[in-house]
């Protein structure tokens, strides 16, 4: 539950920057119940972030192996790993493309 509250807090501070090379849905699965609890949907230069039904929309760009998500005037960088998943570290976790 602490991780979920932290996700909500961090999503409230995400920010926006340009277009990118990601598309489709990326998500992270809750280890306890096996459900998707964070879902990123990349379309064009926008990203929709759905955290337990709380949906925020921002913009994004991909540059130098990272995705930069901008929301409410602030930018959050996440690494794109060798598997193509986006990784926000301990605070945001790892989200992989849904198949």
Number of domains into which the chain is organized: 1
Q: Which two tokens stand for residue 12?
A: 């409230």
78 contacts 65 by C-beta, under 8 angstroms: no
Can you tell me whether residue 16 is helix, strand or coil? coil
Which residue range forms the structural domain that includes residue 92? 2-97
Query: What's 31's domain CATH number?
Result: 2.40.128
pTM exceeds 0.75 for this model: no
> Nearest CA to 17 among 52, 64, 83, 55?
64
Q: What is the pLDDT of residue 64?
A: 94
Yes or no: say if 98 and 85 are a contact pair by the CB < 8 Å rule. Answer: no
**pLDDT tens digits, residue range 5-34?**
444 444 433 333 334 478 999 998 777 777
């Amino acid at each position: 539950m602490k991780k979920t509250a932290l996700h909500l807090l961090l999503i409230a501070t995400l920010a926006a920057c340009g277009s990118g090379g990601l598309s489709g849905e990326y998500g992270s699965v809750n280890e306890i119940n096996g459900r998707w609890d964070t879902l990123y949907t990349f379309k064009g230069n926008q990203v929709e972030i759905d955290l337990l039904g709380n949906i925020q929309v921002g913009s994004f760009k991909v540059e130098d192996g990272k995705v930069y998500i901008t929301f409410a005037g602030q930018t959050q960088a996440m690494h794109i790993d060798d598997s193509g998943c986006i990784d926000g570290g301990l605070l945001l976790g790892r989200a992989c493309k849904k198949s």
